Chains A and B, each alone.
Chain A
Amino acid sequence: MPRPEIGKWGRRFPTQILSLIAFNGFFWRGPGKWFCVPVLNCYACPVGTVACPIGSLTAFALARRIPFYVLGFLGVIGLAVGRAFCGWACPFGFFQDLLYRVRSFKFRLPRAANALKYALLAVLVLGLPLILGGGKRTGSEDRITGEKTGALDYCSLVCPAGTLEGGVPVLAASAQVRAQASWRTWSKVGIAVAILGLTVLARRSFCLALCPLGALMALSSRVSMTQLHTEDKLCTRCMRCVKVCPTRSRHLPFKEFKTEATAECVLCLDCVRNCPEKGALSARICGKAVSVSEGRIRG
């Protein structure tokens, strides 16, 4: 099998490892449940150290409350650094990056698939809980058995991140939990396996097509203070940045600051790191360069 074009990982890899530890309660506990950090990790079980924004939004929708705090928190972060948390900190994004390194047949999802995540955000996270919740949260007790009916936080029924990072370790560690696991538990494991299998073949496919949190952060990504900038005179159109981009957010013709902003860019800076031309590509915060291509990588 040909090795996929993924470029150098650079400092992103250790940052993702640290984030995995920081957001995973297997390693430590802290006061993080007050905060909706825009990463996809297990929402409420002991292995989540922060509150999942998606779980929080669903809880507000179920209670028919306007989520001022959650939207404000995510909006401030999104406007400051766009979707950088997706690229540098999200544990599920990290697993996707790892899995894509497996040698196999590779393909790219059609761009139209990107719209699916907005539908999931509107329907699963907000719409159905708002309409069917009746202002009451249900399904909050003893849900490990799966026997309870009326659970209305639909995302938790299909979330592969919660299953992978929370459920699977718990299932693996406890024979009692495995014995009590319901068909719903195993269906979630099946969904997670299918999605992870897809990410082996299509890079960051969950982020692009299915992640409702990515959809939410994409709304602010276009107007974020942090953007990529191409120096038109230095760029040789070698297309390496296009090839290494995990979200296909870069494409010709490259344009000037601001207009280059896209909803899908996770600011992983793989393009900057892998650019063969010194100074041709940079990441800028409020117009000030914070990371500039050094031109060390050729070919």
Chain B
Amino acid sequence: MLLMLLFAGLLAFGLSQGDAGYVRQNASENFCFS
């Protein structure tokens, strides 16, 4: 349960840093099949 809280905290902190937007941007703009 402590580990779950730790990862939930990481997730929440990442969200507050705008990480989700960075993920979406990279996953939308970069075409990895080259």
Residues of A in contact with B (beta carbons under 8 Å apart): 33-36, 42-45, 48, 50-52, 55-56, 59-60, 63, 65, 67-73, 75-76, 79-80, 137, 139-140, 143-146, 148, 151, 153, 156-157, 159, 162-163, 166-167, 170, 182, 184-185, 188, 220, 223, 225
Contacts and interface: CB of A to CB of B under 8 A. Distances in A.
A203 to B, nearest CB: 27
B14 A70 contact: yes
Given A69-B14, A70-B14, A162-B32, 8 more contacts: A50-B27, A52-B27, A56-B23, A65-B19, A69-B23, A72-B11, A144-B31, A225-B4
Contact of B31 (A60, A72, A73, A143): A143
B24 to A, nearest CB: 4
Interface of B: 3-4, 6-15, 17, 19-24, 26-34
Contacts of B6: 75
B33 A72 contact: no
A72 B4 contact: no
Contacts of B20: 34, 69
B22 to A, nearest CB: 7
6 contacts: A33-B23, A51-B27, A63-B22, A67-B19, A156-B34, A166-B33
A218 to B, nearest CB: 15
B11 A69 contact: yes
Contacts of B32: 42-45, 55, 143, 153, 156, 159, 162, 166
A43 B30 contact: yes
A220 B29 CA distance: 30
A69 B7 contact: no
Given A34-B20, A68-B17, A70-B14, A76 B8 contact: yes
Kindly name the residue among A63, A70, A148 whose own CB sees the greatest number of chain B CB atoms within 10 A: A70
A143 B34 CA distance: 5
Given A68-B14, A72-B8, A44 B24 contact: no
A278 to B, nearest CB: 32
Contacts of A162: 32-33
A257 to B, nearest CB: 16
Nearest to A165: B33
Contact of A182 (B22, B31, B34): B34
B34 A144 contact: yes
Contacts of B17: 68-69
B29 to A, nearest CB: 6
